[in-house]
Amino acid sequence: MVVRTARWTAGPGRLELGRTLPVLLAEAVSERPNERAFNDRPSTVPGKPGGPGAAWTTLSNGEFKRKAEAMAAGLRSMGLERGDRVALFTHSDMSFVLADMACLIAGLVDVPIYLTHTPDAMRFILHESGCAAVLASDEALLARMLEATRDLEAVTLLALATGAPPELAGDGRPLVTDYAAIIARGEGELARRPDLIRTFAAGQQASDVATIIYTSGTTGSPKGVMLSHENLSSNAIASLTDLSTFLPGDRETVLSFLPLTHIFARTLMYANVWFGSSVYFGTTDSVREDLQEVRPTFMAAVPRVLEKSWERMEAVGTTLTGFKKIAYARALAFAGAYDVSLPEGWIAAMEHGALDKLVYSKWRAALGGRLKTIIVGGAALRGELVNRLGAAGIAVLQGYGLTETSPVICFNRPGRNRAGTVGEAIPGVEIGISDEDEILTRGPHVMLGYFARPDETAKVIDADGWFHTGDLGKLEDGYLSITGRLKNLFKLSTGKYVMPDPITERLEADPLIATAIVVGPGEKFCAALLFLDREVLADRYGPVTQSVLEQADLAGALREAVQRANAGMPDWSSVKRVAAVLKELTMADGSVTPKLSIRRDKVVADHAAVVRAMYAGGAAPAGVRFVDVG
């Protein structure tokens, strides 16, 4: 039962239905041509995307459209038919966006595969989706795909964006070629049949499946989310048109470094294509250098990127002396007390202006000097970071969504930014809260369903069209706040229910704690597994060995971190004891998904002996230290 609902309120946003994704590119080329629309750096290291030091290569959106159309014609001429699935195993750069748009123009359904997937996961996705072709960035990725596709008869074509295809003729393997050959072949086809692209477009509907994105699966096996052209095009246009500060054409310079295999970065890419923005493809490893070189006006990020940036800003203060140290400390304190949602009095405004000249302007310079807006998604963002960067004149706008919702459900807007919330609904989107406090949503953004799994689809989309997110939340004045995850709720032996997500977020705000998992179902009190950040641990305490756990300073630092997290929480939700763990959670042991989400249940199961000893008062095993909080 839906007990509370919210819809989009009046703003500049537009709900546009009935568009295929290639239409967004065609409209941009016609109405917002940009000579520097796509900017990429060729790789200088095999198996890795281009990074600092490499020269930028640039394509106008018109040239990009011509290349994508030629590649589409080439793919279809090589035996692929409308509706065939094509895997994309690429870096998050031009090798992805060109292949993606070519598939969309050709009426093919692309299936992005995380570069972090294991061979078994890759084979599962390729087999279940029935991919007929694989497009890869380079020789290193192609080699992994050649192994993963061994004995998969459905795969008849493999292609790489750069490098020389290996000679495999005559051994019964799929045809191996490269983007250049496919494009050249397509150009020949278009010369013979100038109306071919119009023929492709005439056979497409906005309701057609555009892509199948496999969720990384924190529980169970991955499921293929089917998203239509309209799901994605309506979500992209509604989201960015409702950001009043975002300007059309080449007036916006966008730094893109998040994985395009994830729906967050990908839908933003379609929005940037439609707006005609200048997009520069960076990497997560080169963000600091890219900010200085590109000087973006806009970027999307995940919370950890901002957390690391803030930690560096705080660290600067420890290196200063005299008046500079005093001014910096005051700037940190002012930012810590700042609230983006409240008007500023004239006295505070005067101090703010002085601090801006002395300190905040330097923070903006460290981010390139032109950055107006950072859109944040993918995980929970601490509200204080929104306020602190807001004090420096940088709008940090947190949003919320899922792969199944294309993904944007809501986000904060400039001038209507409430730290600690994920904002208001975008055009066309309806938000509901069930009587169990589960967040529901319906509208043109909701997926078509899970590929080949109608029963799983029926579990999450009810008869009234509401998609059940599995997240808990509350609505206040149209603003949505995330309060936890439905499946994470547990009950203590005292009968009290505990929602661990709020205290988990607080614990992970401490730089020393990489991952926190609150435990306690059936126990008298809450405890936590704390997986320490090995880099921070080494910086503070020396080599990361068993002996580092015995240092008194470490126990004191962890005790203080937990006490800060407990502050203001109900007593039964407070953590009384923790296990500090040296082990690093990785994808190799199955603890982390390709999207870098933690498989909580698996981690708890793998550390069941540690949890039992923590509650029994026993000795901690090697690589673990128990700390009582008091």
The pLDDT tens digits for 167-199 are 654 455 688 899 999 999 999 999 999 999 999
The answer for residues whose C-beta is within 8 angstroms of residue 463's C-beta and 6 or more apart is none
Of 453, 447, 385, which is closest to residue 417 (Cα–Cα)?
385
Q: What is the dihedral of CA 79, 49, 228, 183, to 10 degrees?
A: -30
Cβ-Cβ contacts under 8 Å for 259 (sequence gap 6 or more): 92, 114, 115, 265
Distance, in Å, from the CA atom of 449 to the CA atom of 456, rounded to the nearest integer, reads: 8
pLDDT band, residue 214 (cuts 50/70/90)? very high
Quick count: other Cβ atoms within 10 Å of Cβ 333?
Answer: 11
The pLDDT of residue 478: 95
Dist. CA 445–CA 403, nearest whole Å? 10
Instruction: Note the pLDDT tens digit of each residue in 538-547.
Output: 888 888 887 8
Averaged pLDDT for residues 211-234: 87
Q: Are 484 and 502 in contact (CB under 8 A)?
A: yes
Question: What whole-number distance in Å separates Cα of residue 353 and Cα of residue 350?
Answer: 5
- The maximal CA–CA distance of the chain, rounded, in angstroms, is 79
Global pTM? 0.88
| Nearest-angstrom CA–CA distance, 56 and 295 | 14
Q: Name the nearest CA neighbour of 385 among 500, 292, 505.
A: 505
User: Any idea how long the chain is?
Assistant: 630
Task: Give me 289's structure tokens.
Answer: 């250098």
- Of residues 380 and 332, more confidence is placed in 332
Predicted confidence (pLDDT) per residue in 421-446, tens digit: 999 999 999 999 999 999 999 999 99
Rounded CA gap, 352 and 323, in Å?
A: 17
Structure tokens given for 170? 């005559």
- Asked if residue 268 lies in contact with residue 300, where contact means CB atoms within 8 angstroms, the answer is yes
Are the CB atoms for 94 and 260 separated by under 8 Å? no
Residue 251 has pLDDT above 50, yes or no: yes
**CB-based contacts of 69: which residues, under 8 Å, 6+ apart?**
102, 105, 186, 190, 197
Rounded to the nearest integer, the mean pLDDT of the chain is 92
Do strands 2-7 and 157-160 pair parallel, antiparallel, or not at all (unpaired)?
unpaired
CA gap 445, 16 in Å, rounded = 11
User: What is the rounded CA–CA span in Å between residue 586 and residue 591?
Assistant: 6
Percentage above 90 pLDDT, the chain: 70
Mean pLDDT check: name the lowest of 93-107, 275-289, 533-547: 533-547
Residue 488: count of CB within 10 angstroms of its CB: 18
479-485 and 298-301 strand pairing:
unpaired
SS3 sequence of 503-530:
HHHHHHCCCCEEEEEEECCCCCCEEEEE
Check residue 170 and give its pLDDT.
45
The predicted-structure confidence for 388-420, as pLDDT tens digits, reads as follows: 999 999 999 999 999 999 999 999 999 999 999
**Closest of 213, 193, 196, 149 to residue 175, by C-alpha:** 149
- 77-97 pLDDT per residue, tens: 999 999 999 999 999 999 999
